[in-house]
Amino acid sequence: MCGVCGFATAGNNIDTAVLTRMMDAIVHRGPDDAGMVRHEGIGLGFRRLSILDVGGGHQPMSGEDDRVWAVTNGEIYNYQEIREDLIRRGHRFRSHSDAEVVPHLYEEEGVEGLSKKLRGMFAIAIMDRAQGTLYLVRDHFGIKPLYYAMTPAGVLFASEIKGLLASHLIRPEVDLSSLWHYLSFQYVPDPGTMLQGVYKVPPGHFLTVKEGRASLTRYWSVAFNPRQDWTLPELRETIYTTLKDSVRYHMMSDVPRGAYLSSGIDSSAVVAFLREHQVLDTFSIGFAGKHGEVNELTAARETAQYLDTRHHEVVVTAGEYLSALPKIVRAQEDPIADPSAPALYFLAQEARRHVTVVLSGEGADELFAGYPIYHESYALRPFDLLPPTVRGQVGKWAEKLPTGMKGRGYLTRGALPLEHRFIGNAKMYSEAEKMALLHPDAIVTNDPVWVKTAPYYDATRDLDPVSRMQTVDCNTWLPGDILMKADKMSMAHSLELRVPFLDVKVFELAATIPARFKVANGTTKYALREALRPLLPKVVAERPKLGFPIPIRHWLQHEMRDFAWDLMQTADLPYFNRSTIQSILNANQKTLVNHDRKLWTLIIFALWHQEIVRSDDVSTVCEPSQIFEEVHP
């Protein structure tokens, strides 16, 4: 696990000091080592967290003749097979690092062939000196972040936005179209960010930069292809062996490793498979106060006792949670209004005291259909029998019912087609609410939120509703929320987090599961639960999903009430109508109306604006004359 950064310019050499500042800004991603290489207008910078080949894995790494150089963040789990094949083809290796296969494989296969062969999590930058080309490659699911920015000086890239800002070549300014979509999703969907001119390389893509021009190419995409000939016994056995194999691959490490453990089946299965190979440290989190109904500690503790792990618990108070929020938002870099993100911050902090690598259960819900909302398509089937005009009238009538009235939500959602109803696992503000919330000067687009998900629905017209919803989640919610917070919260503590459910081999299997084995018998992840029954106690296999349950509603009405009011009334937020914000604050104090997540979305944006946009640390922007060094013939 490391951090990468660099640039590509057309006809100029950026001063080494710029690259050094970028590397220094991401030192937490790699406190153990650093390196850089430059050739003409391309520079690569690297910070290393030593995991494999601790003594010999220095980067950047080159191929056979120094024509190709690469820096790699992440882990290539099938590197040993690739390495052996490359040796048979005549390649010579200087280390035992997984990262060294990257430049050699590029020499044989090119960037697209390389991208398709790698099994792992990665953000890679490749400099081809002969072509004068920079390639930026992001893994299949977007486990590792990779940002870039187009500037007058050239293209900048980094594992984190703070690496780009440290260059002093861009000014942090709010992208208003991203703000519009953030208010719906609670994060900025790919490829955008909340900063003007800063973008993510999307999952399954590589960016080519040559002669000052950049172009994106997709090398892989999420594609569900259910097989109706599966029997449940066949699926059970295949899922079990495939996951066991993936966990074995994800164990690759020369440093201590552990695992997160919640109350659910996903992390419990990962721990159980790991426990077959090693004595294991496990980590769980809960919250102090009268929140027993939302704590997972007791259930996780019972699982840890069953699996005989060295178990560690973190209990966080509202005060600790609130006190850490500013630095957590700085670590997130882009606003993510998921209340569980700070929980991951505290969990990673505790884990890093004991291990350098942790495995976790992210991705299981998206691949195996674990979210409760996936039931909805079955519950709303009666609406499919209505003519579109009648369905629309039902929706208009339902909207006139009092907010909070029983049945109103069912009628409102049922009146909408799936394409307009489901944009992922979070939907904060409606289109009308955003129009009322935003100042007119901050509304630069009124595109409905579903324009972001329309391409995924268009590509899945022939699939069942659950597979279509999974496709949307895998392309939006998974990289934009789940994986982004997992990476940023762990790397804030120099901790490598691995996700064995998000393995290309696991996905190839999960993609073939028919709907009847995804949501069945009143439960989600049905096939996965059935497959893992021999591994875990019955109560774990059957326990409904909780995620990281945070008592945010209670806190905003009690311990965090004054903080929320003060922040919303004093923050420099010219993008919003103050009167609307005041209405949300007032409504959230009424127990019949739950606006906690809407309010939290505003709180996180306000803190982000203070920490990123208004921060003195990123206010300096260099003049062109300050960033180029003289190059004499």
The catalytic position among 2, 5, 474, 622 is 2
Among 411, 418, 521, 407, smallest CA distance to 467 is for 418
- Distance, in Å, from the CA atom of 455 to the CA atom of 314, rounded to the nearest integer, reads 41
Backbone angles phi, psi at 47, to 5 degrees: -125, 135
Which residues sit opposite 444 in a β-bridge?
none
- Distance, in Å, from the CA atom of 70 to the CA atom of 35, rounded to the nearest integer, reads 11
- Distance, in Å, from the CA atom of 540 to the CA atom of 268, rounded to the nearest integer, reads 8
- Distance, in Å, from the CA atom of 145 to the CA atom of 345, rounded to the nearest integer, reads 17
| 220 burial via Cβ count (<10 Å: 0-12, 13-18, 19+) | middle
The stretches of 62-123 forming alpha helices (DSSP H) are 79-88, 101-117
CA dist 223 to 84, 504, 528, Å?
A: 30, 12, 19
- Distance, in Å, from the CA atom of 431 to the CA atom of 186, rounded to the nearest integer, reads 14
Joined together, the tokens standing for residue 155 give: 């293209």
2 as an active site residue: the answer is: yes
Inter-residue contact 235 to 531 (CB < 8 Å): yes
Single-letter code of the amino acid located at 444: V
Residues in contact with 482: Cβ distance below 8 Å, sequence separation at least 6, in sequence order: 362, 363, 366
Backbone angles phi, psi at 284, to 5 degrees: -135, 160
- Distance, in Å, from the CA atom of 544 to the CA atom of 525, rounded to the nearest integer, reads 10
- Distance, in Å, from the CA atom of 552 to the CA atom of 163, rounded to the nearest integer, reads 31
List strands edge to edge, sheet with 205-210.
Answer: 61-62, 68-76, 120-128, 133-138, 205-210, 213-218
Joined together, the tokens standing for residue 41 give: 């207008």
- Distance, in Å, from the CA atom of 114 to the CA atom of 122, rounded to the nearest integer, reads 12
List strands edge to edge, sheet with 42-48.
Answer: 33-39, 42-48, 2-8, 154-158, 147-151, 198-200
- Distance, in Å, from the CA atom of 331 to the CA atom of 28, rounded to the nearest integer, reads 10
CA dist 321 to 13, 344, 560, 602, Å?
A: 44, 11, 10, 17
- Distance, in Å, from the CA atom of 166 to the CA atom of 22, rounded to the nearest integer, reads 5
- Catalytically active residues are 2
